[in-house]
Amino acid sequence: MRTGIFAAACAAVIMASTGAAQADELLESYGAYIGQDDLYNSSNERLTQPWQVIRQDRANVHRFGVRQPGDDIDGFFASARNRELAERMIRDGEIGGSAARKLLDGDVRIHVDIWRGAGGDYINVSVD
């Protein structure tokens, strides 16, 4: 009988620890060159937020066929719905202040990691 109680206690500890220790999953990574075309929306208005530029860059690649040398193809932002989530994903992820400023200036290569975490998908952006 003691063995059964011990086994059940061990199983409960293992289940609790694996649920709590579940790591975030890297869904995809891609590189992109942020050119001048990526700094303006379809109404030719200058974009002012990093998430807007990333969203426009991915719309240019996937929807409008506008690619610069250095633009990788990704599967995640091929979906218009996922592009709509870019603002929240950057807010929940990470982009440094200097990286954000460089991205908004354009003519820079970025690296994007798309993650799935317990709180939802997020992206980390770095400037090369």
35, amino acid identity: G
Q: What is residue 21's predicted lDDT score, i.e. its pLDDT? A: 57
How large a percentage of the chain has pLDDT more than 70? 84
Beta-bridge partner residues of 121: 116
Residue 118 inside a domain? The answer is: yes
Domain count, the chain: 1
Domain region containing 59: 24-127
Residue 79 inside a domain? The answer is: yes
Residue 19 inside a domain? The answer is: no
Q: What is residue 22's predicted lDDT score, i.e. its pLDDT? A: 77
48, amino acid identity: T
The CA angle 82-28-60, to the nearest 5 degrees, is: 50
Residue 4 inside a domain? The answer is: no
| Residue 61 in this model has a pLDDT that exceeds 90 | yes
Residue 14 inside a domain? The answer is: no
Tokens 């908004």 belong to residue: 104
Residue 16 inside a domain? The answer is: no
Q: What is the mean pLDDT of the chain?
A: 87
